[in-house]
Amino acid sequence: MATLEARIHLASQSPRRRELLTQIGVRFDLLLFRGGPRADPETCEDALPGEAPEAYALRVAMAKARHGQQIQALRHLPQRIVLAADTTLDVDGEIIGKPRDDADALAILSRLSGRTHRVLTAVAVAYQGQIETRLSASEVRFRELSDAEMRRYVASGEPRDKAGAYGIQGRAAIFVAEIRGSFSGIAGLPLCETALLLRDFGYPI
């Protein structure tokens, strides 16, 4: 990883994470996992009984990075740094992930309206059998949302693939009254923590 042409493998389907890595000049190729009914069991995002939100985010990010390393070997790909991440919301100690459907998205937004929640994004970097993680924790306060604007937002389709049923970098920005922490972490990849992890593994950043 000692040249400026170094590349990593990004184990994520998130377009936000691609944009954020590009923003800081990290060169990457995608490692895509199977989704839907054929999803890889190694990257299952179901929470374990009694699992704390912080532990959940770190476990899932590590599982994705570890599985990314396995895919590199199975597909005979170049052995590069693998970067993975997971974002979840912590609302009263409860893990809130991606909405199951539009009705669930509306229920989540109703719960977030007029109050503060935590956004947790865990980053995992794996290389040559070693895995290191960082956790970004931020607070987001929503203003009071009307039923009509929540329904319009859900109808836009934007909440469907996002933890907590919203994207701060999209239309939901108008819901946010205050943030404390990392904007990029809330968007899905905390760039400060990510850069430090990549640097620890020898990536020139």
Q: Which residues in 179-188 are b (16+ Cβ under 10 Å) and which e?
A: bebbebbbbb
CB atoms within 10 A of CB 145: 17
| Residue 194 CB contacts under 8 Å (≥ 6 apart), including other chains | 20, 21, 24, 83, 85, 123, 134
CB 97 within 8 A of CB 57: no
Paired tokens of 117? 């929640």
Residue 74 corresponds to which amino acid?
L
| Residue 203 CB contacts under 8 Å (≥ 6 apart), including other chains | 1, 6, 8, 26, 81
Cα–Cα dist 94/145, whole Å: 21
Rg, the chain, Cα only: 17
* Residues identified as active-site: 86
